[in-house]
Structure 1
Amino acid sequence: MKDYQLIIFDWDGTLMDSAAKIVSCMQLAAQQCDVPVPDAQAVGNIIGISLRPAIQILFNTQNETLTDALLEGYKSAYLEKDVTPCPLFDGTRELLTSLKQQNKTLAVATGKARRGLDRAWKNTQTGHFFTTSRTACEAASKPSSDMLEQILTETGVNASDAIMVGDTVFDMQMAEQIGMDRLAVSYGVHNSERLAAHHPVAIVDTVTDMHSILLPR
């Protein structure tokens, strides 16, 4: 396998097992705003997109007042009401430690807000692993390649020496647009068949399975 210099991770559904919490909070927001409650699959389909456009797609609305209400309902549920745990996937800390020991440059490209990513890093004590990151606050929403292009510019790494790791077709699409290799994970919100359509270098079933691809012997 190729020896990548820069490894860019999605966060939710790739390193952190947060899908159940996102689904629960989106459903609580819908109840609060008295709109039809989406099922888990519908919410899963928009995980990875920045929150505002994700809500507009999920609830099929361009009404800014409703969008704002759903946004606030979601944020309130996430921070104050919902208690669904969000652990790191098994093997995540060990993988990140191994990558840093091999002097890999690590980054995050996520649809989370900056405050949300910083909070996740603090709660999991993982922020020190990453050289840089881009969130929904600093770049266009996935599947735009804007996050990746900004990270490449900041780190001075060519797309050919980097790989994007993610669990959604949005992660695959953003890398595909700029000719960057991509590694798909099957344990997140999008299934292997959907991910395979974007020709990742591999599809892995666990975090541990990433070692042979990201740390070639």
Structure 2
Amino acid sequence: MKYQLIIFDWDGTVMDSVARIVSSMQACALDCNLTVPTATAVRDIIGLSLYKALPILFDGLTEQDEVALLAAYRRHYLELNTTPSPLFAGAGELIKSLHQDGYQLAVATGKQRVGLDRVLAQTQLGSYFHALRGADQALSKPDPLMLEQILAELQLSPADAVMVGDSSYDLAMAKAIGMDRIGVTYGVHDATTLSQHTPIALIDDIRHLRDWL
């Protein structure tokens, strides 16, 4: 076993939630009388914290604008948007089997911690993870702080772990501390974009992760 720890991003890596995020962001822009961002623009910020993403999507925001946008986004994503956001095929089974095989597992996500806790409860996967970090517990990706916090909590080094994610932000934060990284190509960034961060592998199905471990 080369790695002791596998760290997963969540949205676009474990959960097929990209379409729901995009449509929720576009709907909240309408609510706040702002120019609606394109689907491509929204996809490109998935993985960042909302506080870092909003100024990229919308120019000239005031603090009051940001508060209104955040409230509108959460209302749409949690209450109004009916777009399904299931786990990717095989993701739940993979996580359970990796846990059974003795790997330590963690999540490093652009979601806030309360949102991560919610989906872990809904999917009944929370008990399989040894460490969790949301966007409000560290600096936003691609800063590597959340990875450093996870390693410190589990008393491991970057060489003991591998990061699995669908965005350039996931791979860049792992690269910043010399951690191996695997890109998944079915999420927000394509293989060409992910390749810029020298992953050890690119996979087009989460179930293929086992082939690289």
TM-score (norm 1): 0.96
RMSD: 0.9
Q: Contact (CA 8 Å) 1:48, 1:168: kept in 2 or not? A: yes
One-letter amino acid of the counterpart of residue 105, structure 1: Q
Residues 93-114 of structure 1, C-alpha deviation per residue, up to 9 Å, x if partnerless? Answer: 1111221111000000001011
The answer to whether residue 65 in structure 2 is matched with residue 63 in structure 1 is no
1:76 corresponds to which residue? Answer: 75
Equivalent residue for 1:42? 41
**Are residues 1:32 and 2:31 paired?**
yes
Kindly state the Cα deviation for residue 182 of structure 1 after the two structures are TM-superposed.
0.3
Q: Deviations over 1:70-105 (max 9, x none)?
A: 111101101111111110000101111221111000
1:21 is matched with which residue?
Answer: 20
- Counterpart-to-counterpart distance in 2, 1:30 and 1:43: 11
Residue 6 (structure 2) aligns with: 7
Residues 128-139 of structure 1 correspond to what in structure 2 (within 5 A)?
A: 128-139=127-138
In the other structure, the counterpart of 2:53 is: 54
Match of 2:84 in 1: 85
Pairwise CA distance, 1:62: 4.2
Q: Does the CA contact (< 8 Å) of 1:61 and 1:67 recur in 2?
A: no
**1:106-145 equivalences in 2 (<5 Å):** 106-145=105-144
Given residue 166 of structure 2, which amino acid in structure 1 is its aligned partner?
Answer: D
Runs of 4+ in 1 over 2 A off after TM superposition: none
> Deviations for 1:119-140, whole angstroms, at most 9, x for unmatched residues?
1011111111100111012111
Percent identity of paired positions between Structure 1 and Structure 2: 51
1:95 maps onto 2:88 in alignment: no
Q: Distance in 2 between matches of 1:61 and 1:106?
A: 40
Q: Distance in 2 between matches of 1:121 and 1:97?
A: 13
Corresponding residue SS for 1:137: helix
| 8 Å CA contact 1:139, 1:147 repeated in 2 | yes
Kindly tell me the number of residue pairs found equivalent between the two proteins.
Answer: 213
Secondary structure of 1:133's aligned partner: strand
Alpha-carbon distance in 2 for matches of 1:90, 1:6: 22
Q: What residue identity is the alignment partner of 2:182?
A: L
What is the rounded CA distance, in whole Å, between the counterparts of 1:36 and 1:83 in structure 2? 22
Q: Unaligned stretches of 5+ in structure 1?
A: none
Which runs of 5 or more residues in structure 2 are unaligned?
A: none
Q: Distance in 2 between matches of 1:92 and 1:51?
A: 25
Counterpart residue number, 1:195: 194
The amino acid across from 1:52 in the alignment is Y
Residues 153-187 of structure 1 show CA distances to partners (whole Å, capped at 9, x for unaligned) of 00011101100000000001100100000000000
Aligned to 2:204: 205
**TM superposition shift of 1:60:** 2.6
Query: Which amino acid letter does the alignment assign opposite residue 93 of structure 1?
Result: G
User: Any idea what SS the aligned residue of 2:14 has?
Assistant: coil
| 8 Å Cα contact 1:108/1:133 also seen in 2 | yes
SS in 1 for 2:45: coil
TM-score norm. by structure 2 comes to 0.98
The residue that corresponds to 2:163 in the other structure is: 164
